A and B are shown apart, each in its own frame.
Chain A
């Protein structure tokens, strides 16, 4: 079975450029999460969706960040304009609705470097 798929795996860009990260959750999972991981702050939840609807975006750091989930099998996280402090590993994860969001399955992550 395919796990969570993320692309690109690595992204190097210059400050001010637009960055789009992509995620395909596990088929049948109805929750999708976007996380950012840095050494300083650990794993931070940015936003999560349930049945393609954004439920909580309070973790999105600024208006420069936006996320969409147009259908059950695809989500994007966009940063525009990007800044050096956005450099991090961005993970997408998905899970089943079993009353509680227990086991989350993570994608391999996108390592973003903003110069």
Chain B
């Protein structure tokens, strides 16, 4: 059973484009949601948390739909430096570990 599913991509977009990723999670009791970013041959790093009401951090907007059990990440005005793999992450409640999706690869092209 895949707990967190993501489209692996790659998404190849030109600079300045808007791109959106979605992911779905299987456990309706999941309580915390995040997007992590992983550069090639590097470790994952927290990009942003995802709140129920949706939240924005500069060019990045995260949304959560609990009814449909999906999370989205929108990147506006893509930069070359946004090229990375974006990991969707959920926490199944309480003091339980994070569960990572396999990631969606983004390539921003000049």
A-side interface residues toward B, CB under 8 Å? 33, 41-43, 45, 48, 56, 91, 97, 99-104, 106-109
B-side interface residues toward A, CB under 8 Å? 31-32, 34, 42-46, 49, 87, 91, 94-103
With contacts A102-B32, A102-B91 taken as known, whether A45 is within 8 angstroms of B44 at the C-beta atoms is no
Whether A43 contacts B87 by the Cβ 8 Å rule is: yes
The CA-CA distance from A56 to B102 in the complex, in Å, is: 21
Known A45-B97, A104-B46; further 15 A-B contacts with Cβ < 8 A: A33-B97, A41-B102, A42-B100, A42-B101, A43-B102, A45-B98, A45-B99, A56-B97, A100-B31, A100-B91, A101-B91, A101-B95, A102-B91, A106-B44, A107-B43
Q: What is the minimal beta-carbon distance from A29 to any residue of chain B, in angstroms?
A: 14
Whether A48 contacts B97 by the Cβ 8 Å rule is: yes
CB closest chain-A residue, reference B46:
A103
B102 contacts across to A, CB distance below 8 A: 41-43
Whether B87 contacts A99 by the Cβ 8 Å rule is: no
Q: Which 6 A-B pairs have the closest CB atoms?
A: A42-B102, A106-B43, A43-B100, A103-B46, A45-B97, A106-B44
Task: List, sorted by A's number, 28 A–B pairs whose CB atoms are closer than 8 Å.
Answer: A33-B97, A42-B101, A42-B102, A43-B44, A43-B87, A43-B102, A45-B97, A45-B98, A45-B99, A48-B97, A56-B97, A91-B44, A97-B95, A99-B95, A100-B31, A100-B94, A101-B95, A101-B96, A101-B97, A101-B98, A102-B32, A102-B34, A102-B49, A102-B91, A103-B46, A106-B44, A106-B45, A109-B43
